[in-house]
Amino acid sequence: MFIILFYNPTRLKPANFSSEPEDASLRRSAKPVICYPPESLPELNLQNLKNARENLEQVTEKYIPPREAECFEVEAGHFFRIYSHQGPQVGDLNLWSKANPEEKFYTGKTRALHGTHLSTGDRLWSCFPFLRPMACITHDSLDWYGFDEDGASVHDVIGTRCDPYTAKLLSGTDYHHCCHSNLIRAFSEAQGVSYEEAEPYVHDVLNVFMCTGFTQDTHQYFMKASPVRPGDYIEFFAEIDLLCGLSACPGGDCSEEHSSDQAQCYPLRVEILRPQKSFVEEWVPPNPSSYNRLHQDPDG
Ligand SMILES: [Zn+2]
């Protein structure tokens, strides 16, 4: 009873015993300011991409088996799609620059720039010191979903990726088909490096088709059954030459659990598509950040 009385359900922490200052409500009433107004980002000609996607020709397709990951390359100026196939299934996506895999997708900055969940028109940005758009989302058949009554939406950049370390911490078991391990094996095979060498390249993901949010009372990360159905897809435009890694998460539709063999899982289908030759030839990939990297004024 004591615990319940002194328990703050909104924070999952013991109640804060510091007394509120007299001007607490005034301090809380400060106006939110958008940290990074998207209109100040380098412009992308979406109409140009819309026109280009009217005439796409399939270059190749591949299937990602359940509880496995595979890598595939996409040339700058091309498109790729991730399809739900046979049943609802969530995918964990990593992106690297093909020329230099040290340049990888940066979910934290992408989230700060575009919000917790991505859809058409949002871009996937690379890590420092590069910080440039690697890809842009050009179609999302789940964009109708929006945000539901639980505050959930699809394609988040708020989760990390299921991994064997957290699974071990929580359940005490060694499970090898978490997205983290799947992506390590896929990257290792694609780049001809050991698992140990591959591991630092695997990073937080775009949770493709996953339906997630933060609970409104305790602000905890939650998942619910993905609304994706076979035939649904999300389409990306590769702004630079990409190496992509995609894992068909062991959580399946993530309606109950992940990091185990319990959930029903399905393959994911990937299509790589080429627009008209003239469009590809004219596409100019964005440059890495031009920040001078001195990190201090030249005079001291
Ligand atoms: Zn996963």
DSSP assignment, residue 126? Answer: B
Distance of CA 290 from the midpoint of ligand 1 (Å):
35
170 phi and psi angles, rounded to 5 deg: -90, -35
**C-alpha of 152 from chain center:** 15
Distance of CA 280 from the midpoint of ligand 1 (Å):
33
pLDDT of residue 15: 62
Per-residue pLDDT tens listing for the chain (300 residues): 444 444 454 555 556 678 999 999 999 999 999 999 888 888 888 899 999 999 999 999 999 999 999 999 999 999 999 999 999 999 999 999 999 999 999 999 999 999 999 999 999 999 999 999 999 999 999 999 999 999 999 999 999 999 999 999 999 999 999 999 999 999 999 999 999 999 999 999 999 999 999 999 999 999 999 999 999 999 999 999 999 999 999 999 999 877 788 899 999 999 999 999 999 999 999 999 999 999 999 886
282 phi and psi angles, rounded to 5 deg: -85, -15
Distance of CA 254 from the midpoint of ligand 1 (Å):
9
Distance of CA 34 from the midpoint of ligand 1 (Å):
31
* Per-state percent for the chain, helix, strand, coil, to nearest 5: 20, 30, 50
**Cα angle for residues 51, 56, 57 (degrees, 5° grid):** 165
Distance of CA 112 from the midpoint of ligand 1 (Å):
22
pLDDT of residue 16: 62
What DSSP line would sit under 62-120, residue for residue? Answer: EEE-TT-EEEEEE-TT-EEEEEEBSB---EEEEEEESS-TTSBB-HHHHHHHH-SB--T
Distance of CA 171 from the midpoint of ligand 1 (Å):
16
In the chain, what is the straight-line distance between the N-terminal and C-terminal CA atoms, in Å? 59
DSSP assignment, residue 168? Answer: H
Distance of CA 90 from the midpoint of ligand 1 (Å):
8
Distance of CA 92 from the midpoint of ligand 1 (Å):
6
Which positions ≥6 away from 40 have C-beta within 8 Å? Answer: none
Quick count: other Cβ atoms within 10 Å of Cβ 139?
17
Distance of CA 153 from the midpoint of ligand 1 (Å):
17
Distance of CA 18 from the midpoint of ligand 1 (Å):
40
Distance of CA 74 from the midpoint of ligand 1 (Å):
23
Measured distance CA(162)–CA(115) in Å, rounded: 21
pLDDT of residue 42: 86
pLDDT of residue 43: 84
Distance of CA 23 from the midpoint of ligand 1 (Å):
45
pLDDT of residue 257: 79
Evaluated on CA atoms 145, 150, 151, 152, the torsion sign reads negative
pTM to 2 decimals?
0.93
